[in-house]
Amino acid sequence: MASKELEENLSELQISEKGEKKPVENDVSEGEVKPVENDVSEGEVKPVENDVSEGEVKVFCFTDDLQDVTLHFQIVKFSKQIYAWIGCNSAKLGHLYAAATTRPNNNVSVTSLLGGTSDNTGLSIARRIVLKTGLNVVVACNIPKDSPMLQATAERKLVERLASLGYFRPKEKHSN
């Protein structure tokens, strides 16, 4: 089937939730713009329910300018996992680490997914975020390994943002 023919067939069909094929009612001719009708009046803000537990993904990006360095951050929140990227002066991925709690002692296991083990900048960041959030974490880190102060600052900024977004679990009270 040619791609043009396939496009025509797909544009005529709509798959329902049960897998039944239903024809799409299209009362707009090609190239015509039809206004969208909604129940929100102009200037009114309607709250949007974003429940990550139902499979939605939340993405947060921010940048922090230090004295001579620009740190870029991206946080992607999945239902039971956080992906965090920290970039220093560039948009390179860097080393990629995955961390998760292990049973039965709730220790944290961390492994390098990309970039080898010679640079463990993101390894410690991933471990500490898992301990604070209780979620599985994937951290991509592009920070020079010879600048520990920059690493500490980047981790502090990331932790502050995660805390402001409500991703930290409450501290457990120990009974004596």
- pLDDT tens digits for 144-171? 888 889 999 999 999 999 998 888 766 6
Residue 114 within any structural domain of the chain: yes
Residue 39 within any structural domain of the chain: no
Residue 171 within any structural domain of the chain: no
Residue 87 within any structural domain of the chain: yes
- pLDDT band of residue 173 (cuts 50, 70, 90) is low
Residue 31 within any structural domain of the chain: no
Sign, CA dihedral 141-143-146-150, equals negative
Give the DSSP H or E segment for 96: strand 95-102
- Total domain count, the chain: 1
| Domain limits for position 82 | 52-164
- pLDDT tens digits for 81-107? 999 999 988 888 888 999 999 888 888
96 and 138 in contact (C-beta within 8 Å)?
yes
**Residue 142's CATH number:** 3.30.230.90
Give the per-residue pLDDT at 83.
95
Sign, CA dihedral 115-117-119-123, equals positive
Residue 8 within any structural domain of the chain: no
40 and 30 in contact (C-beta within 8 Å)?
no
SS3 per residue for 16-42: CCCCCEEECCCCCCCCCCCCCCCCCCC
Residue 5 within any structural domain of the chain: no
- pLDDT tens digits for 30-79? 444 444 444 444 333 333 334 444 567 889 999 988 878 899 999 998 88
